[in-house]
A and B are shown apart, each in its own frame.
Chain A
Amino acid sequence: MAKIVIEGVRKSFGGFTALDGIDLEIRSGEFLVVVGPSGCGKSTLLDLLGGLSRPTGGRILLDGKPVTGPGLDRGIVFQQYALLPWRTAQGNVEFGLEATGVPRRQRGARAREFLDLVGLSGFEDRHPHELSGGMRQRVAIARALAYDPDVLLMDEPFAALDAQTRESLQDELRRIWQSTGKTVVFITHGIEEAVYLGQRVAVMTSRPGRIKEVVPVSFGECDALLGEALRSSPEFARFRHEIWTLLHDEVARARQLEKEAVAA
């Protein structure tokens, strides 16, 4: 059953069209990755899903009901972590719980439970500036999970991390997704990341953003593999190449558009 339905969604700002005619269905419990060249409106799409902005045309349905604004049925993980610097890791996770009205006494235990889930037991009392980038993003993920949204919207969450941290967080995320059964919409510009994480990968065109193709990713018997074993498998390379080919022209076109914009 479709969890999210995007129907002919268009978004323009003034005379500038960011998204045009987006059609996409996301199944319940699915891990969908959206990949596209920079400036193609990926983040705009995520804002629309999160209810932070409204589409200019078309509509977005969540569980069959149109999205009219933000809600706690969707949790967003931002690229810049968006942690409250004056709160500890624990306090940051509790922040989401305060919004949902979880009773004060349950918040502490719940926050600890989710910090444990992302592997941060023992770091509850650290402030964000005392944590590494990877740890900060783990806190942000714990926060988004703790108030138990059905849908997790992730906006290039690992883009600011170094390669090793990114890969270990990708594994964590797969594990968490498998154990919680959340519907995940994951935005990235990394092809490997898309292939590694996604059940399906939606490739976007450069401006105005459209869905060029949706590639189902399945490794057959290799599906149980993790990490380097999966990344070095021939199936992985095949998907990687397929998506690279789809993106290649778009990236070139995006670069051209960018040049023209700067020259103008």
Chain B
Amino acid sequence: MTTGTDITAMAAAGVRTPAPRAGTVPESVPRDLSGNGTGNGDEFGTGSETEAGSGSGSGSGNESGSVATAAPEAGAPGRGAAAALKAVRALKAVFVRTVAVLALIALWEVAPRAGLVDATFLPPISEVAVAWWELAGDGQLAEHTQASLTRSLGGFGIAVVVAVPLGLLIGWYRPVAKVLGPLLEVFRNTAALALLPVFVLLLGIGETSKVSIVVYACVWPILLNTISAVGNADPTLVRLARSMDLSTPRLFQKVILPASVPAVFTGVRLAGAVSILVLVAAEMIGAKAGLGYLVNASQFNFAIPQMYAGIITISAIGVAFNQLLVTVERRLSLWRVPASS
């Protein structure tokens, strides 16, 4: 009951309406990839989990090390055993992390050779590797990769620069957020690729339309996450700042902004995955370079191993980019309270 009156008191005082306590951790718990259905992201969710697992693994490794030092009478053999145990654990962790990928590679190699699938349409991975090597050797791969990365990183960068400040602004002015909310939902749920013909119509078939579609697709996850991050900033912290008579800009700088960082970065990471997904599809229509073009053109020319080489490159880039963003995100969210509390 007291909290009930608290809330009304705050509302009357013009303090931001508090979200329910539980809501203070929004779609956060960002590592479980809130609402990200892309295979890319999912793969990475488990990736980061296993990494966390291996982290705790090495932690317990240290523990066993300290046990060894705590019991010096165990002497050198004990220490050796501890080290061996640690090595075994590390190997096990590596095995757990790679076994599924290795199994896929093995299956890809064996299935076509054993005649389980038509080798014309799914050549063994060794042939794909050879094709990849040739593409890498004659510079084609580098050229296409560069074309793709320039577009997707450019679009991604523009989206971050535009959407983060805009999201902070919209999130801060709650009435604005309320008015724009439904509109933003409509845009976000309109598949970016459905709008590709519109972009081509308006901006032509060149670079502009491709970068624009990447910008468009990247803006929504960042914008929406940023808006909700600002809206979900812990109301008690806002009260605290108010009680200290902090000016609004200082409140924003010292409380809202740092509180929003993790959720904003979750949006950025989703946008990173989207930037590559959308670009590849865009490159399949009316492009003369880029990995999407490479895949499409190879299929057209029946250069099937080259097609798969292009696909593998795309997923490798996606995985690497996501991993990079996950690392940065974790660095920025170190203070984040574990989900239990």
A residues touching B (Cβ–Cβ < 8 Å)?
11, 13, 16, 18, 38-44, 47, 50-54, 69-72, 74-76, 78, 80-82, 84-87, 95-96, 98-99, 127-129, 147, 156, 254, 258
Contacts and interface: CB of A to CB of B under 8 A. Distances in A.
Contact of B335 (A42, A82, A86): A86
A69 B245 contact: yes
Given A13-B5, A78-B236, A129-B335, 9 more contacts: A39-B5, A51-B243, A80-B236, A81-B236, A82-B239, A86-B335, A96-B244, A128-B335, A129-B337
B242 A70 contact: yes
Given A44-B9, A127-B335, A129-B335, A52 B2 contact: no
A141 B246 CA distance: 19
Contacts of A70: 242-245
Nearest to B4: A39
B94 interface: no
Given A84-B258, A129-B338, A52 B8 contact: no
Contacts of A81: 236
A85 B335 CA distance: 6
A264 to B, nearest CB: 14
B243 A76 contact: yes
Nearest to B332: A86
A195 B303 CA distance: 86
Interface of B: 1-6, 8-13, 15, 21, 234, 236-237, 239-240, 242-246, 250, 254-255, 258-259, 261, 335-338, 341
A40 B6 CA distance: 11
B12 A85 contact: no
Contacts, number: 102
Nearest to A153: B243
B240 A44 contact: no
A44 B246 contact: no
Contact of B6 (A47, A54, A82): A47
B335 A13 contact: no
Contacts of A258: 1
Given A39-B4, A129-B335, A47 B13 contact: yes
Given A47-B9, A72-B244, A39 B1 contact: yes
Contacts of B335: 85-87, 127-129
Contact of B9 (A13, A40, A69, A87): A13
Given A41-B5, A43-B5, A53 B243 contact: no
B22 to A, nearest CB: 13
B5 A18 contact: yes
B interface, over-half SS: helix
Contacts of A40: 2
Contacts of A50: 243
A69 B242 CA distance: 9
B309 to A, nearest CB: 44
A240 to B, nearest CB: 22
Contacts of A78: 236, 239-240
A74 B4 CA distance: 24
B1 A38 contact: yes
Nearest to B244: A99
Contacts of A16: 8
B129 to A, nearest CB: 46
A193 to B, nearest CB: 15
Contact of B13 (A54, A99, A128): A54
15 contacts: A13-B11, A13-B12, A18-B9, A44-B5, A44-B9, A52-B13, A52-B239, A53-B13, A81-B236, A85-B259, A85-B336, A86-B259, A87-B335, A129-B336, A129-B338
Contacts of A53: 9-10, 12-13
A107 to B, nearest CB: 14
A98 B244 CA distance: 10
A84 B12 contact: no
Given A98-B254, A129-B337, A82 B244 contact: no
B240 A76 contact: yes
Name the residue in B5, B10, B236, B245 with the highest tally of chain A Cβ atoms < 10 Å from its Cβ. B5
B245 A72 contact: yes
A39 B338 CA distance: 32
Contacts of A43: 2-3, 5-6, 9
A38 B5 CA distance: 10
B338 to A, nearest CB: 7
Nearest to B14: A53
Contacts of B239: 52, 76, 78, 82
A18 B246 CA distance: 27
B341 A129 contact: yes
Nearest to A48: B9
Nearest to B240: A82
B13 A95 contact: no
B258 A86 contact: yes
A85 B169 CA distance: 23
B26 to A, nearest CB: 14
A19 B71 CA distance: 65
Contact of A42 (B2, B4, B258, B261): B2
Nearest to B13: A53
A39 B2 CA distance: 4
A44 B5 CA distance: 7
A98 B245 CA distance: 12
A82 B237 contact: yes
A52 to B, nearest CB: 5
A40 B5 CA distance: 9
